[in-house]
């Protein structure tokens, strides 16, 4: 199964992995980053989260060839703190998130993530989830469809697209990815279609809604910061402007200095902000040429100060 991890070296280097440390991969996927972390651990432990059963099964085979000092946790990263506490883990040395959808999920036609293949509308990362793309497309109101398409993809023709979806589903239910893609493309001006692909934007927006990707992110990032030991590192790879904005905002809030001590040398630790934010990292030109899906990626890292 082909999967190329984005910003792999940069992420692993940012974590400054200690061979006896405890590390968490909140988005195991197909074990690209987790494999690199586990190779650096001797006495340490890796905990990896993923709600996708297929990803977990594949990654277990990959990680077993490296070592046994890991545990795959079948849960969404919104449960990060709760699941680690169950295992007696209250502090860790490093945590990473690789947000968005993985290449194998996109390339698996049966999952319904891609507009390139005809498949049932699904888009659930967790197949046991109650709401899928079919439900969103066929049951959400015009206003809700317009809102998620605009808010989650900045699609300027969101009103026209939402109106077309509501009109078409009156005739018959919209059941497949290509049916939806055709409706989207028929809703926008011809010139616009030549310049961009509105299906890419809309499918992304629906996927984000189905999996509540933005809703769970602030809590998860704050929990991750809470779990870090002093000098521990949180590294987050974002692909979407809204994800990146949320990450940036959480970092800003948690790195805010006490006004009285601002700019002073030798500030007592109890008055330090929770984290220090490091410079963001973008993929190199070489990586973008080799993996076009990396072009929108941003790596944001922070270090726990207390």
Q: What is the pLDDT of residues 253-293, one digit of tens each?
A: 999 988 887 878 888 888 899 999 999 999 999 999 999 88
Residues 149 and 198 sit within 8 Å (Cβ to Cβ): no
Where does the chain hold its CATH 3.40.50.150 domain(s)? 8-100+214-304
Instruction: Please provide residue 217's backbone torsions phi and psi, each rounded to the nearest 5 degrees.
Output: -70, -45
| CATH 3.40.47.10 is held by the domain 109-210 | no
**72 vs 135: CA distance, rounded Å:** 30
Structure tokens at 274: 């929770």
* pLDDT at residue number 242: 92
* pLDDT at residue number 2: 57
* pLDDT at residue number 266: 83
| CATH 3.40.50.150 is held by the domain 8-100+214-304 | yes
* pLDDT at residue number 104: 65
What torsion, rounded to 10 degrees, do the Cα atoms 118, 120, 122, 128 define? -140
Structure tokens at 298: 């941003």
Where does the chain hold its CATH 1.10.150.170 domain(s)? 109-210
Question: Residue holding tokens 């900045």?
Answer: 154
Provide the edge-to-edge strand list for the sheet that holds 22-25. 70-73, 45-49, 22-25, 92-98, 228-238, 298-304, 275-277
In sign, the C-alpha dihedral spanning 68, 6, 193, 131 is positive
- Residues in the chain with pLDDT values less than 50: none
**284 vs 131: CA distance, rounded Å:** 37
* pLDDT at residue number 258: 85
**38 vs 34: CA distance, rounded Å:** 6
* pLDDT at residue number 103: 65
**293 vs 291: CA distance, rounded Å:** 5
Q: In sequence order, which residues have a C-beta less than 8 Å from that of residue 209 and are 6 or more positions away?
A: 136, 148, 152
Residues 81 and 226 sit within 8 Å (Cβ to Cβ): yes
Cα separations (Å) of 196 from 152, 188, 189, 193, 273? Answer: 16, 11, 11, 5, 43
Task: Classify 197 in phi/psi space as left (phi over 0), alpha (psi -120 to 50) or beta.
Answer: beta
* pLDDT at residue number 205: 96
């Amino acid at each position: 199964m082909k999967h190329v991890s984005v910003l792999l070296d940069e992420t692993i280097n940012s974590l400054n992995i200690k061979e006896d440390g405890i590390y968490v991969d909140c988005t195991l996927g197909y074990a690209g980053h987790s494999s690199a972390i586990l190779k650096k651990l001797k006495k340490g432990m890796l905990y990896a989260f993923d709600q996708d059963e297929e990803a977990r099964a594949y990654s277990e085979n990959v990680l077993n060839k490296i070592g046994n000092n890991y545990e795959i946790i079948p849960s969404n990263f919104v449960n990060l703190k709760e699941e680690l506490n169950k295992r007696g883990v209250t502090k860790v040395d490093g945590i990473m998130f690789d947000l968005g959808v993985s290449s194998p999920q996109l390339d698996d036609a049966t999952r319904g993530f891609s507009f390139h293949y005809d498949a049932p509308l699904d888009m659930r990362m967790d197949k046991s989830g109650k709401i899928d793309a079919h439900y969103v497309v066929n049951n959400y109101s015009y206003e809700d469809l317009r809102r998620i398409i605009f808010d989650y993809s900045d699609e300027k023709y969101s009103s026209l697209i939402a109106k077309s979806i509501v009109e078409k589903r009156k005739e018959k239910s919209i059941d497949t990815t290509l049916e939806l893609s055709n409706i989207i493309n028929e809703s926008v001006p011809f010139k616009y279609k030549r310049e961009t692909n509105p299906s890419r934007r809309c499918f992304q927006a629906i996927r984000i809604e189905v999996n509540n990707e933005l809703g769970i992110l602030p809590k998860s990032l704050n929990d991750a910061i809470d779990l870090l030991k002093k000098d521990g590192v949180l590294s987050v790879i974002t692909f979407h402007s809204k994800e990146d904005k949320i990450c940036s905002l959480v970092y800003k809030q948690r790195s805010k200095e006490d006004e009285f001590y601002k700019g002073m040398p030798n500030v007592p630790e109890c008055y330090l902000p929770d984290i220090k934010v490091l410079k963001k990292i973008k993929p190199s030109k070489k990586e973008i040429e080799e993996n076009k899906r990396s072009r929108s990626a941003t790596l944001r890292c922070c270090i726990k100060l207390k």
